[in-house]
Amino acid sequence: MLKVKNILTGAHFLNGDVACAEAALVVGCRFFAGYPITPATEIAETLSERMPQLGGIYIQMEDEIASIAAVIGASYSGLKAMTATSGPGFSLMQENIGLAAMTEAPCVIVDVMRAGPSTGQPTMPGQQDVMQAKWGSHGDYGIIALTPSSVQEMFDLTIEAFNLSETYRVPTLLMADEIVGHMWEKVVIPPMDEVKIVNRKKPSVPAEEYKPFLPDKDLVPPMACFGEGYHFHATGLTHNESGYPRTSSIEDQTKLVNRLCEKIQKNADKIVRVQEVMLDDADVAVVAYGIVARAALSAIKKAREKGIKAGLLRLITLWPFPEEHVAKVSKHVRGIVVPEMNCGQLVREVERAARETPVAFLSKLGEEPHTPMEILEAIGRVA
C-alpha cells in the first residue's frame, strides 16, 4: 500500500534537485541508493530525510557502481527505485545501466550534468553527457532520456521518467544541467489523485507457465518480482524468453537485442515530446534543450522584433531522438541553429535528420550558458 502521508502538494519555492526528489516520492519511488556528488547531492540529501517519512529506503552507498547495482536489485524486488549523480559518477554507472537494459529492470537515473571531462568543473553547467546517455554502455539497447528546462519540469519529467520506465521496462534517464538543478522557481505539486502514475505490467498466467522475457504485442514482457511466487532466472548473459542463457545461440542474441531496441524505437511516437514555438512561418529554426532552450526562446522573440522569422524546436525527449520532428521542421526553413554546452554532440543527430538543410552549431563551454544575444547573432548569420 503506497503511503501518501507527508506528500507535498500545492505551490512551493524549490530548487530543481529538491523538486526532482519530491516528484520521485509522489510517483511512488520508495528506494534510493546514491553517492554524494555535485551538483546532484541535494537530491540525495532531500531523500535521506524524506524517504523514511514515507516508509521508503534510503542508502548512501560506497560508490556509484554499488548505487546502480542496488537500484537494479530493488527494482527486481518490486520497488520503484532511482539514483542521482553527475558526470564522473554517471561514467561509473554505465556497465550496470547496460545490465538494467539487458534484464529489463525499470529504474530512473538522474544525471545533473556539469562540465567535464574527468572532474571538470563540479559547480558549473554542461551538456556533455547526452551522447553518453545513449551509447555509454557497450552493446545495443534502447534507452529513454528526458531533459528539463525549468524547475517545474524537473518535477514533471521525474514523474514521466518513472512512468516511462515502468511502461517499457527500461532504465530511464533524466538529463538536467547544473543550472536547472540548482536554480529556484515556483513549483506546483498537484493533489495525488491528479497525478498520472504508471506501474509495471504483472503476469496474468500461472506461475508454472510464466516466461520472464516473453513480450506482449508492445514488445514489453510482464514483470514478476522476487517474492511473488514466480520462479525465474534473470541474467546479463544473452538469454531466451525463459531467462536462461545459451551463449552459443545466435538466434537468441538476434531476437533479444533487436527487441530491446525495437520496444523503444517502435514506440517512439508515444515517447517523444517536443515543444514548438513560432515554427509555422519560420525561416530559421533553433533546436535547443535544457537551460539553453530558455535563452533560445528569448533569442527568437528578439529575432522577430528585427523582422527575422525565427522559431524554436525545444527537445524534451533526447532519446529516442525526435528525428521526425527535426526532419519536418527542416523542410520549411532555410537553416537551423543548434546551441549546445559541449563541443558538438546532439547537433550531429540534427544534421542527420535535417539532411540537406544547413545546420549552424553554436558551442559554449565553461561557466556560463549561451546568452540570447549570442543565439540571436547566429540566427542572423543563418537568415
Q: Please give the Cα distance from 283 to 260 (Å, whole number).
A: 39
In this predicted structure, which of 212-221, 247-256, 264-273 has the lowest mean pLDDT?
A: 247-256
Q: Do 288 and 187 share a structural domain?
A: no
Task: Please check whether residue 367 lies inside any domain of the structure.
Answer: yes
24 in Cβ contact with 158 (< 8 Å):
yes
Closest CA relative to residue 326, chosen from 281, 288, 292, 291: 288
Whether pLDDT at 6 is above 90: no
Residues 184, 66, single domain; the answer is yes
Same domain, 29 and 139: yes
Identify which of 231-240, 249-258, 348-357 has the greatest average pLDDT.
Answer: 348-357
287 and 189, same structural domain? Answer: no
- For residue 178, report the phi and psi dihedrals to the nearest 5 degrees: -55, -40
Residue 173 in domain: yes
- pLDDT tens digits, 43-57: 999 999 999 999 999
In a domain, 188, yes or no: yes
My answer on whether 289 and 170 are in the same domain is: no
pLDDT of residue 8: 87
Which stretch of 59-63, 71-75, 242-246 has the lowest confidence by average pLDDT?
242-246
- Asked which of 194, 216, 235 is the last residue of a domain, the reply is 194
Q: Are residues 32 and 129 in the same domain?
A: yes
Query: pLDDT at position 248, please?
Result: 67
Number of other CB atoms surrounding residue 231 within 10 Å: 10
Q: Residue 170 and residue 265: Cα distance in Å, rounded?
A: 12
* Predicted TM-score (pTM) of this structure: 0.96
Mean pLDDT of all residues in 24-50:
97
Across 116-130, average pLDDT:
94
The predicted structure's pLDDT at residue 249: 82
* Span of 20-24, 155-159, 189-193, 290-294 with lowest mean pLDDT: 189-193
Q: Is residue 205 part of a domain?
A: no
**Residue 65 parent element (H or E):** helix 64-76
Q: Taking residues 327-351, report their average pLDDT.
A: 97
CB 211 within 8 A of CB 243: yes
Amino acid at 294: R
Q: How far is CA 377 from CA 226, 276, 286, 315, 360, in A?
A: 57, 21, 12, 21, 11
| 211, three cell numbers | 516466461
- Asked if residues 94 and 134 have their Cβ atoms less than 8 Å apart, the reply is no
54: CATH: 3.40.50.970
Same domain, 291 and 175: no
Last residue of a domain, one of 194, 215, 235: 194
Q: How far is CA 299 from the centre of its chain?
A: 26
Give the max Cα distance, the chain: 70
**What's the number of domains the chain is made of?**
2
Q: Does residue 324 sit within a domain?
A: yes
What is the grid cell recorded at 144? 529513454
* pLDDT given at position 367: 78
Q: Are residues 87 and 183 in the same domain?
A: yes
Based on the fold, state whether residues 59 and 166 are members of the same structural domain.
yes
Residue span of the structural domain in which 48 resides = 10-194
Is 164 inside a domain boundary?
yes
**Residue where one domain finishes, among candidates 149, 170, 194:** 194
What is the Cα–Cα distance from 380 to 383, expressed in whole angstroms? 5
Give yes or no for residue 1 having a pLDDT over 50: no
| Long-range contact pairs involving 60-66 (C-beta distance under 8 Å, separation at least 24) | 60/33, 60/34, 60/35, 60/36, 61/33, 61/34, 61/35, 62/35, 63/35, 63/92, 64/34, 64/35, 64/37, 64/88, 64/89, 64/90, 64/92, 64/93, 65/92, 65/93, 65/95, 65/96, 66/33, 66/35
Q: Is residue 2 part of a domain?
A: no
Looking at the fold, whether 184 and 284 belong to one and the same domain comes out as: no
Q: Which residues contact 310 (CB under 8 A, 6 or more apart)?
A: 278, 282, 283, 284, 285, 286, 299, 300, 303, 304, 379, 383
184 & 299 share domain: no
Assign 3 a pLDDT band (cuts: 50, 70, 90): very low
- The secondary structure of the chain in percent helix, strand, coil, rounded to multiples of 5, reads 40, 20, 40
Can you tell me the distance from the alpha carbon of 369 to that of 343, in angstroms, rounded to the nearest whole number? 13
Residues 155 and 55 in one domain: yes
What's the pLDDT band for 5 if we cut at 50, 70, 90?
A: low
Write the CATH number for 345.
3.40.50.920
pLDDT in tens, 301-313: 999 999 999 999 9
Checking if the pLDDT of 4 tops 60, the result is: no
pLDDT on residue 277? 98
Residue 364 lies in a domain: yes
